[in-house]
């Protein structure tokens, strides 16, 4: 008699690991050619991971931010460009899922994301503004029920490959720079005229070219909440947490490679501790600090979720900013340690211990919303906000 075993659905992490395997296979090629990580992203779509954060009645799986961060960390260990593309898409989903509730148009679109596994990009950076997310020069021109927008967008990751782009702007031509809205434009509603090519040190597969973005769409596609609220309560925290998770992934893979190097050296000389072993212990220690930083931030975010006062609190913003600055700095130190452990085998491309791609990708972390800009914001908050000195609170 055949007894059927228990049927258990694959977890999100197991599905992400399958996609990560594909992404890892093409990571060096994506980096060398500076091309979109098509294979990794197709694998994520095949695993139906694009809309998992969306609520089940719209076709999603109600995945938590902690679960999404775990997927980003898994992908970060395979291909940082795939991981960053996935993370940036999820940052947009988080804004839509929580800050367009009750908007029939946006809810129908969320369902489409799940059904069709759509990819969403973001255009916040603007010529003359740089990485100052909370300011815009461009303004929506409302003509009856039609919204028109032109933006000199200096960086739109995977802009040419996206199915839709969420674009920040001023509410109208008379509004101050900080009175912003966010509008979701569908691919068929905009044109992109390329103004700069993303030929960079790292994160090359994100294809973050610059464009003159021109669009026209029904005004109902403007997100119902002011962008100030979306940025403060969702976008900044989610960005720092998901980026932190994938940056952890890059560093974790570097440590795994250097551990393999040290183990191989130990096998060659039994009875002798390889010279890199001590530094490996140090790298492991630093990696644990990055992990603890991201996990503590995720716990704080999950506890505050849905509580506007907690999300708006300065202490929350300071904590999220610290996660971004801390993780982005620490991963460089870790990968540098790994370089010293593996030596030329890390410096050279095409060895099992190569770390050039990791180091180059990791260098984007400090610039992706400049750490100096973030530290500037934190320092202003610390002039009035009491530093949280509790251990658990
Ligand atoms: C991999 C990657 C993908 C990206 N994808 C996107 C995307 O999809 N969409 C998008 O809109 N943007 C994207 N960006 C852009 C990013 O979010 C920032 O806007 C950009 O990195 C900032 O560019 P910047 O350094 O030229 O500008 P700025 O932020 O203007 O900074 C310029 C320099 O001035 C200094 N500076 C500026 N302001 C201050 C201040 N207040 N205090 C102290 N120093 C200051 C900093 O040291 C900084 O080096 C991406 C960036 C990267 C690296």
What is the distance in A from the centroid of ligand 1 to the CA of 122? 14
User: pLDDT digit string (tens) for 29-62?
Assistant: 999 999 999 999 999 999 999 999 999 999 999 9
pLDDT at 7: 60
Q: Cα dist. 81→61, 68, 132, 276, 331 in Å? A: 24, 16, 23, 29, 16
By percentage, how much of the chain surpasses pLDDT 90?
91
Q: Is the dihedral of CA 64, 65, 67, 72 positive or negative?
A: positive
Helix pair 65-76, 12-33: axis angle to 10 deg:
40
Q: Is the CB of 379 inside a 6 Å radius of any atom of ligand 1?
A: no
Take residue 37 and report the two structure tokens written for it: 């990580």
What is the distance in A from the centroid of ligand 1 to the CA of 130? 5
Nearest CA to ligand 1 atom 36: 373
Q: Is the CB of 92 inside a 6 Å radius of any atom of ligand 1?
A: no
pLDDT at 87: 98
Q: Is the CB of 373 inside a 6 Å radius of any atom of ligand 1?
A: yes
Q: Which one has a higher pLDDT value, 143 or 8?
A: 143
Burial of 372 (0-12, 13-18, 19+ CB in 10 A): exposed
- CA distance between the termini of the chain: 57
Q: Is the CB of 88 inside a 6 Å radius of any atom of ligand 1?
A: yes
Rg (CA), the chain: 22
User: pLDDT digit string (tens) for 111-164?
Assistant: 999 999 999 999 999 999 877 899 999 999 999 999 999 999 999 999 999 999
Q: How far apart are CA 80 and CA 166, in angstroms?
A: 22
Nearest CA to ligand 1 atom 51: 368
User: pLDDT digit string (tens) for 357-393?
Assistant: 999 999 999 999 999 999 999 999 999 988 888 888 7
Using DSSP's 3-state secondary structure scheme, residue 190 falls into strand
Each residue of 2-41: b (16+ CB within 10 Å) or e?
eeeeeeeeeebeebbbebbebbbebbeebbeebebbebbb
- Best of 36, 134, 155, 363 for a ligand 1 pocket test (most atoms within 8 Å of beta carbon): 155
By percentage, how much of the chain surpasses pLDDT 70?
98
pLDDT at 386: 85
pLDDT at 1 over 80: no
Least Cα distance to 166 among 145, 184, 142, 153 occurs for 184
pLDDT at 5: 61
What is the distance in A from the centroid of ligand 1 to the CA of 59? 35
| pTM over the 0.85 mark | yes
Q: Is the CB of 376 inside a 6 Å radius of any atom of ligand 1?
A: yes
Nearest CA to ligand 1 atom 48: 370
What is the distance in A from the centroid of ligand 1 to the CA of 139? 21
User: pLDDT digit string (tens) for 77-108?
Assistant: 999 999 999 999 999 999 999 998 889 999 99
pLDDT at 130: 78
Q: How far apart are CA 149 and CA 141, in angstroms?
A: 6
Nearest-atom index, ligand 1, CA of 158: 8
User: pLDDT digit string (tens) for 341-358?
Assistant: 999 999 999 999 999 999
What is the distance in A from the centroid of ligand 1 to the CA of 131? 4
Q: How far apart are CA 223 and CA 185, in angstroms?
A: 11
Mean confidence (pLDDT) of the chain: 95
Mean pLDDT of 267-286: 95
- Best of 89, 203, 367, 374 for a ligand 1 pocket test (most atoms within 8 Å of beta carbon): 367
pLDDT at 6: 61
pLDDT at 387: 82
pLDDT at 392: 83
What is the distance in A from the centroid of ligand 1 to the CA of 371? 9
User: pLDDT digit string (tens) for 289-310?
Assistant: 999 999 999 999 999 998 989 9
Q: Is the CB of 367 inside a 6 Å radius of any atom of ligand 1?
A: yes
Nearest-atom index, ligand 1, CA of 159: 8
What is the distance in A from the centroid of ligand 1 to the CA of 296? 26
Q: Is the CB of 203 inside a 6 Å radius of any atom of ligand 1?
A: yes
pLDDT at 303: 95
pLDDT at 345: 98
What is the distance in A from the centroid of ligand 1 to the CA of 151? 17
pLDDT at 3: 58
Burial of 195 (0-12, 13-18, 19+ CB in 10 A): middle
Q: Is the CB of 122 inside a 6 Å radius of any atom of ligand 1?
A: yes
User: pLDDT digit string (tens) for 206-226?
Assistant: 999 999 999 999 999 999 999
Mean pLDDT of 248-253: 98
């Amino acid at each position: 008699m055949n007894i059927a075993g228990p049927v258990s659905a694959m977890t999100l992490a197991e599905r992400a690991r399958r996609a990560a395997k594909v992404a890892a296979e093409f990571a060096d090629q994506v980096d060398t050619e500076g091309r979109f990580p098509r294979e990794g992203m197709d694998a994520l779509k095949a695993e139906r991971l694009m809309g998992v954060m969306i609520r089940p009645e719209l076709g999603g799986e109600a995945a938590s931010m902690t679960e999404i961060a775990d997927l980003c960390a898994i992908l970060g260990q395979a291909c940082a460009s795939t991981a960053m593309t996935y993370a940036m898409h999820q940052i947009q989903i988080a804004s839509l899922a929580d800050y367009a509730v009750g908007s029939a148009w946006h809810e129908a679109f969320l369902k489409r994301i799940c059904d069709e596994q759509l990819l969403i990009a973001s255009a916040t950076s603007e010529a003359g503004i740089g990485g100052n997310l909370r300011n815009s020069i461009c303004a929506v021109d409302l003509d009856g029920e039609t919204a028109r927008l032109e933006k000199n967008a200096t960086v739109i990751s995977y802009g040419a490959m996206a199915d839709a782009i969420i674009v920040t702007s001023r509410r109208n031509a008379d509004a101050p720079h900080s009175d912003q809205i966010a509008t979701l434009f569908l691919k068929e509603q905009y044109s992109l005229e390329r103004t700069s090519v993303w030929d960079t040190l790292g994160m090359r597969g994100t294809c973050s070219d610059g464009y003159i973005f021109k669009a026209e769409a029904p005004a109902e596609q403007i997100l119902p909440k002011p962008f100030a609220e979306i940025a403060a309560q969702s976008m900044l925290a989610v960005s720092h947490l998901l980026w932190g998770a994938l940056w952890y992934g890059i560093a974790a893979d570097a440590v795994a490679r250097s551990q393999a190097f040290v183990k191989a050296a130990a096998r060659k000389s039994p009875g002798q501790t390889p010279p890199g072993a001590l530094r490996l212990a140090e790298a492991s220690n630093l990696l644990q600090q990055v992990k603890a930083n991201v996990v503590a931030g995720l716990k704080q975010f999950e506890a505050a979720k849905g509580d506007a006062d907690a999300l708006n609190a300065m202490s929350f913003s300071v904590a999220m900013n610290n996660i971004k600055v801390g993780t982005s700095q620490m991963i460089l130190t870790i990968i540098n340690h790994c370089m010293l452990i593996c030596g030329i085998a890390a410096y050279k491309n095409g060895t099992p211990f190569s770390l050039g791609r990791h180091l180059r990708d990791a260098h984007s972390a400090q610039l992706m919303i400049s750490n100096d800009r973030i530290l500037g914001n934190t320092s202003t908050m610390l002039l009035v906000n009491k530093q949280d000195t509790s251990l658990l609170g």
